[in-house]
Amino acid sequence: MIISYYGKQFFKIQQGDKVIALNPLSKENSLKKKPSRFGSDLTLISTHYKDFDGVDTVSYNNKEPFVISGPGIYEVDGITIHGYGQPTHIDGELYINTVYFFDFEGIRFLFAGALESEEISQEAREHTESVHILFVPIGGGEVLTPVQAAKFVKDFTPNVIIPMDYGKDRDPASLDAFLRELGGEREKNFLDKFVFKKSEIEAKTDALILLNEN
């Protein structure tokens, strides 16, 4: 399996020919960045905002994704997705952010999206001990601060942690603060892509994966 990062909260997860996109940047994104384009089979959108809902950028090369953009329980091509809504504020306006738990090829993911508080519903917390890979925003402002993000991560004890959304140029202060809150010795080695097998993930505990933008 391969995970690639395209800025903000935009990720591609690929296993063979099957592709999942997470929070693709739209063409009108606040970063003023030209989004990378690729075709996805499934796209998860946590928040209906220009930095997270660019379905057009992952509709490409004869692929039109099945789009999930809100709370609920879904089954798509053998992938089970649970989405739980949380209030969040962007540009002073109230939005609903959906925290997604999904199982893809036997690997269980948690995608926090544009989460502004580490306090989530009790229903969502039923998944606490079943997360292999957790994507969490750490930049503060309109998403979790490094301190809040670390508390959120510790509630779920994932095998792998992938931080996201910590500034246009990836503010090192936010990352350093997040690492201090996590504790332990952690090297800041950035990968262009995260390539792994399920057995490798299961052997990890609380491992940090940092990704360069493609």
Burial class (CB in 10 A: 0-12, 13-18, 19+), 183: exposed
Please give the single-letter amino acid code of residue 1. M
- How much is the pTM? 0.95
Tens-of-pLDDT digits for all 214 residues of the chain? 999 999 999 999 999 999 999 999 999 998 889 999 999 999 999 999 999 999 999 998 888 999 999 999 999 999 999 999 999 999 999 999 999 999 999 999 999 999 999 998 888 888 767 899 999 999 999 999 999 999 999 988 899 999 999 976 678 899 999 999 999 888 889 999 999 999 999 999 999 999 999 9
**pLDDT of 168:** 67
CB atoms within 10 A of CB 34: 10
- Indicate the helix (H) or strand (E) that contains 104: strand 93-104
**How far apart are the C-alpha atoms of 175 and 28, rounded to whole Å?**
27
Domain count, the chain: 1
- Residue 109 contacts residue 136 (beta carbons within 8 Å): no
For position 121, which CATH number holds? 3.60.15.10
**pLDDT of 136:** 98
**How far apart are the C-alpha atoms of 39 and 109, rounded to whole Å?**
21
Kindly list the strands in the beta sheet with 2-5, ordered across the sheet, starting from the edge strand earlier in the chain.
66-68, 42-44, 18-22, 11-15, 2-5, 194-195
Sign of CA dihedral 194, 199, 204, 205: positive
**pLDDT of 124:** 85
Show the tokens assigned to 182: 């996590």
Please give the single-letter amino acid code of residue 93. E
Look up the domain containing 94 and give its range. 2-211
